[in-house]
Amino acid sequence: MWAFSTGDDIRAAPAIGRDGTVYVGSFDGLFYAVHRDGTPAWTFRTGDRILSSALVDAAGAILFGSQDDRLYCLEPDGKLRWSVELGGDVDSSPILAADGTIYVGTDDKKLYALHAP
């Protein structure tokens, strides 16, 4: 058993990558990657709190939203692949359709359907 501390509350469900890395966002505005033994792998800073649970796609890309109105896509090593600004806080968790469409809801009362840039 192990415990990993972040700088604030964690409200999202963690996601697990193919190599067993655990991914989770926190109210401190950081998105964390934690090795299976509980040691930190890397962090990525967003502009606001993270309530969104992450999605790890088949290629290992990590998608999640933040209250900075952005949907993020990170590489497995924590580098930004892309981000897109939507019309409100992205508190919901993205899902990925079989055709590659990403669906996510925001605080502007809209459901967005988008393809990776």
Residue 3, domain member (yes or no): no
CATH number of the domain within which 74 lies = 2.40.128.630
DSSP structure class, residue 117: -
Q: What is the pLDDT of residue 1?
A: 92
Residue 20, domain member (yes or no): yes
Residue 10, domain member (yes or no): no
Residue 7, domain member (yes or no): no
Residue 8, domain member (yes or no): no
Q: What is the pLDDT of residue 116?
A: 81
- Report residue 23 as tokens: 């991914």
pLDDT tens sequence across 58-95: 999 999 999 999 999 999 999 999 999 999 999 999 99
Is 92 in contact with 107 (CB distance < 8 Å)?
Answer: no
Tell me the three state secondary structure of residue 106.
coil
CA distance between the termini of the chain? 39
| Band of residue 117 on the pLDDT scale cut at 50, 70, 90 | confident
Query: What rounded mean pLDDT belongs to the chain?
Result: 96
pLDDT tens sequence across 11-40: 999 999 999 999 999 999 999 999 999 999
How many beta carbons lie within 10 A of that of residue 16, not counting itself?
13
pTM of this prediction exceeds 0.85: yes
Q: What is the pLDDT of residue 71?
A: 98
Residue 73, domain member (yes or no): yes
User: What are the counts of helices (DSSP H) followed by strands (DSSP E) for the chain?
Assistant: 0, 11
Residue 5, domain member (yes or no): no
Its domain, for residue 88, covers: 15-114
What average pLDDT does the segment 99-116 reach? 95
Q: How many domains does the chain have?
A: 1
Residue 1, domain member (yes or no): no
Q: Percent of the chain scored above 70 by pLDDT?
A: 100
Closest to 94 (Cα-Cα) out of 23, 42, 40, 44: 23
Q: How far apart are CA 39 and CA 5, in angstroms?
A: 10
